[in-house]
């Protein structure tokens, strides 16, 4: 046998070893998100350890995996009040970040998966929202009436329950924090009403926030190119070990069909939310009482921070836990209850998951020095907005004092302090920073300004080559902007 033929034969043998199938049975016990599911995980379809260095990596065999998943995936149909009255559902202008809409009575709205043998099923809030009748169809075509146990719009999660179903098979839950970009995943659901449709792809990205009108501060999506379409909502995103790592929720699409950009809720978020939905029907969240924004390189330099990390406090609500603890506008929160805050997006979910009444240590950087304050977390009420990030575009100026007439026109308090931006020169530092007419500048370099005189004095006290950090009020938001002087022109 030639040397080349021996190598070819060895490759075939290696492929036979690598192409293993799943033989373990799915655990039939209750898959409560609070439980550790490590023992119920199915063997990997393609064990990475068996791949020889430099060898070609074959595609995984999904067939055995899908056979195990199918009994746990359900189709969900609903009837809404609008449909009962014979009206067409209200349509909105299509948002490319689409949380799937439904059309017509008893049309399949979405998917779900079995959480436990007691009949609990996880799906999306938007699948069952305002439904007066819910029908769940299992893989064996049997149908059951379902009732909503609990639902949460902020995370788009819902738990429903069916009664008297036999031999329910629960899916084991994985750990979405362990997902790696590039890892294989499988989506199963009922796109366009086509039951038990299977698509495969990879994890395209993690920690995605998508720019949509109803953006939640708790958004932290897994992005995948596994095909997701209307009807997949609420179905599982599964890794090759047979564990649920996400709940399919939305797509990015101009046409309404899949173009390879889908989003799933991380299962670790569901682990926090689902037990509350099962027990109480709603979610109780912790409240700190601040508005925050990201720390970019310019802001970090203006605040003398070593790194561009943390959550910059742009507003502190009166009588909030943050206000009572002494947290100030301009503070940068770097740790919360022992957990590091590298990105501002990290903070809202951590605060929300903190038990109401718990006293936690919060480390902030203030005037270049780190301080620690003790905060007692309160309950987030529905009309409060917890730590929703303030979008930082960039900055810009020409200002005037706030007169009673201007205050009335801008909806400000009659005793409002600061200066109003009356004009922005195109191409100026203010224009580059994103300032616009009608903005109210409340502080310069973390020093409050009451009028144009104080504003000019603050600017006069700085080095002309230094960037200036300003606090801007725009409508009901406050946000920091950095005014950077133009770079010297080279001769």
pLDDT tens by residue, the chain, 491 residues: 444 444 444 443 344 333 333 233 333 233 344 344 443 444 444 444 455 666 666 778 899 999 999 999 999 998 875 444 344 333 334 444 444 444 444 455 799 999 988 999 999 999 998 888 899 999 889 999 999 999 998 899 999 999 988 889 999 999 999 999 999 999 999 888 888 899 999 999 998 887 665 567 788 899 999 999 888 999 999 999 999 999 999 888 776 777 889 999 999 999 999 999 999 999 999 999 998 888 988 888 888 888 899 999 988 988 999 999 999 999 999 999 999 998 888 898 899 989 999 999 999 999 889 999 999 999 988 655 444 443 333 344 778 888 776 777 778 887 788 888 877 777 777 878 888 888 899 888 888 888 877 887 777 666 667 788 889 888 878 889 888 876 544 43
Angstrom distance (rounded) from CA 321 to CA 329 = 14
Tokens of residue 125, six digits: 């809030």
Check residue 455 and give its pLDDT: 81
Alpha-carbon span 488 to 242, nearest angstrom: 59
pLDDT for res 117: 86
Residue 156 three-state SS: coil
Q: Domain 286-379 is of which CATH architecture?
A: Roll (2.30)
Q: Cβ of 13: how many Cβ atoms within 10 Å?
A: 9
Separation in Å, CA 25 to CA 158, 168, 271, 417 = 27, 13, 23, 67
β-strand partners of 158: 123, 151
Residue among 25, 62, 70, 38 at smallest CA distance from 243: 38
Q: How far apart are CA 259 and CA 225, in angstroms?
A: 8
Q: Where are the domains of the chain?
A: 17-283, 286-379, 399-483
Return the beta strands (E) in 221-352 as ranges: 221-224, 236-239, 244-252, 262-266, 286-287, 290-294, 311-316, 332-336, 339-340
Least Cα distance to 479 among 394, 384, 380 occurs for 394
Helix (H, G, I), strand (E, B) or coil at 109: strand
**Calpha distance 415→412 (Å, rounded):** 8
Token couple for 61: 């065999």
Q: Give the tokens for residue 485.
A: 């002087």
pLDDT for the residue numbered 392? 34
Among residues 323, 344, 432, 436, the alpha carbon closest in space to that of 390 is found at 344
| pTM higher than the cut 0.85 | no
Largest CA distance in the chain: 96
Q: 51: buried, middle or exposed (CB in 10 Å: 19+, 13-18, 0-12)?
A: middle
- Report the SS3 class of residue 471: strand
Is the alpha carbon torsion for 363, 365, 369, 371 positive or negative? negative
pLDDT reported for residue 393: 36
Q: What are the contacts of 449-454 at 24+ separation with CB within 8 A?
A: 449/417, 449/418, 449/419, 450/417, 450/418, 451/401, 451/402, 451/417, 451/419, 452/399, 452/400, 452/401, 452/419
Sequence-distant (6+) residues with CB within 8 A of 192 are: 108, 229, 230, 231
Q: What gap in Å lies between CA 260 and CA 251, rounded to an integer?
A: 8
Locate tokens 């788009």: which residue? 156
**Cβ-proximal residues to 361 (8 Å cutoff; 6+ apart), any chain:** 335, 337, 338, 372, 373, 374, 375
What pLDDT is stored for residue 107 in this prediction?
Answer: 52
Tokens 């002309």 map to which residue?
A: 464
Q: From the CB of residue 159, how many other CB atoms can be counted at a distance below 10 Å?
A: 26
Catalytic positions, written as ranges: 126, 156, 233
The CATH number of domain 17-283, selected from 2.40.50.140, 2.40.10.120, 3.30.70.20, 3.20.20.70: 2.40.10.120
> What is residue 359's three-state secondary structure?
strand
Q: How far apart are CA 248 and CA 99, in angstroms?
A: 10
Nearest in space to 262 (alpha carbons), one of 194, 197, 195, 185: 185
Tell me how far apart the alpha carbons of residues 37 and 53 are, in angstroms, rounded to a whole number: 31
CA distance 466 to 449: 19
Exposed (0-12), middle (13-18) or buried (19+): which is 429, by Cβ within 10 Å?
A: buried
CA distance 95 to 98: 5
Q: Return the CATH class of domain 399-483.
A: mainly beta
Q: Of how many residues is the chain composed?
A: 491
Alpha helix positions (H), 280-381: 297-302, 321-325, 346-352
Q: Residue 87: its pLDDT value, please?
A: 40
Same fold, 17-283 and 286-379: no
């Amino acid at each position: 046998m030639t040397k080349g033929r021996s190598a070819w034969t060895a490759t075939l043998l290696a492929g036979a070893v690598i192409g293993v199938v799943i033989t373990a049975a799915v655990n039939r016990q209750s898959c409560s998100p609070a439980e550790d599911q490590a023992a119920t995980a199915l063997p990997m379809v393609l064990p990475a350890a068996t791949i020889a260095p430099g060898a070609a990596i074959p595609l995984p065999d999904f067939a055995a995996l899908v056979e195990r998943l199918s009994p746990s995936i359900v189709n969900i149909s609903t009837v809404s009040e609008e449909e009962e009255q014979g009206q067409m559902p209200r349509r909105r202008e299509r948002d490319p970040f689409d949380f799937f809409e439904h059309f017509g009575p008893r049309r399949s709205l979405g998917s779900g998966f079995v959480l436990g043998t007691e009949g609990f099923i996880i799906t999306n809030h938007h699948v069952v929202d305002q439904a007066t009748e819910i029908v769940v169809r299992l893989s064996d075509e049997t149908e059951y009436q379902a009732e909503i146990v609990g639902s949460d719009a902020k995370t788009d999660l819902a738990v429903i329950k069916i009664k008297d179903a036999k031999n329910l098979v629960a899916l084991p839950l994985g750990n979405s924090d362990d997902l790696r970009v590039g890892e294989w995943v499988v989506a199963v659901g009922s796109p366009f009403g086509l039951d038990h449709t299977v698509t495969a792809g990879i994890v395209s990205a993690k920690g995605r926030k998508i720019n949509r009108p109803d953006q939640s501060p708790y958004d932290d999506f897994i992005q995948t190119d596994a095909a997701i379409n209307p009807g997949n909502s609420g179905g599982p995103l599964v890794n090759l070990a047979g564990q649920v790592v996400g709940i399919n929720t939305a797509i990015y699409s101009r046409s309404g069909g899949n173009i390879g950009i889908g989003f799933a809720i991380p299962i670790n978020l569901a682990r926090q939310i689902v037990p509350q939905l099962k027990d109480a029907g709603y979610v109780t969240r912790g409240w700190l009482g601040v508005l925050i924004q990201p720390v970019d390189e310019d802001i970090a330099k203006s605040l003398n921070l070593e790194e561009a990390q943390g959550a910059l406090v742009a507003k502190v609500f009166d009588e909030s836990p943050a206000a009572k603890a002494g947290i100030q506008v301009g503070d940068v929160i770097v740790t919360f209850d022992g957990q590091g805050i590298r990105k501002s997006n990290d903070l809202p979910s951590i605060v929300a998951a903190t038990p109401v009444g718990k006293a936690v240590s919060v480390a902030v950087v203030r005037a270049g020095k780190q301080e620690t304050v003790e905060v007692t977390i309160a309950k987030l009420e529905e009309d409060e907005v917890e730590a929703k990030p303030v979008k930082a575009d960039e900055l810009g100026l020409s200002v005037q004092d706030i007169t009673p007439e201007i205050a009335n026109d801008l909806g400000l308090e009659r005793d409002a302090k600061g200066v109003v931006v009356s004009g922005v020169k195109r191409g100026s530092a203010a224009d580059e920073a994103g300032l616009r007419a009608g903005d109210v500048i409340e502080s310069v370099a973390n020093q409050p300004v009451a009028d144009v005189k104080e504003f000019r004095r603050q600017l006069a006290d700085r080095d002309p080559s230094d960037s200036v950090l300003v606090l801007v009020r725009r409508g009901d938001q406050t946000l920091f902007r950095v005014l950077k002087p133009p770079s010297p022109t080279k001769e």
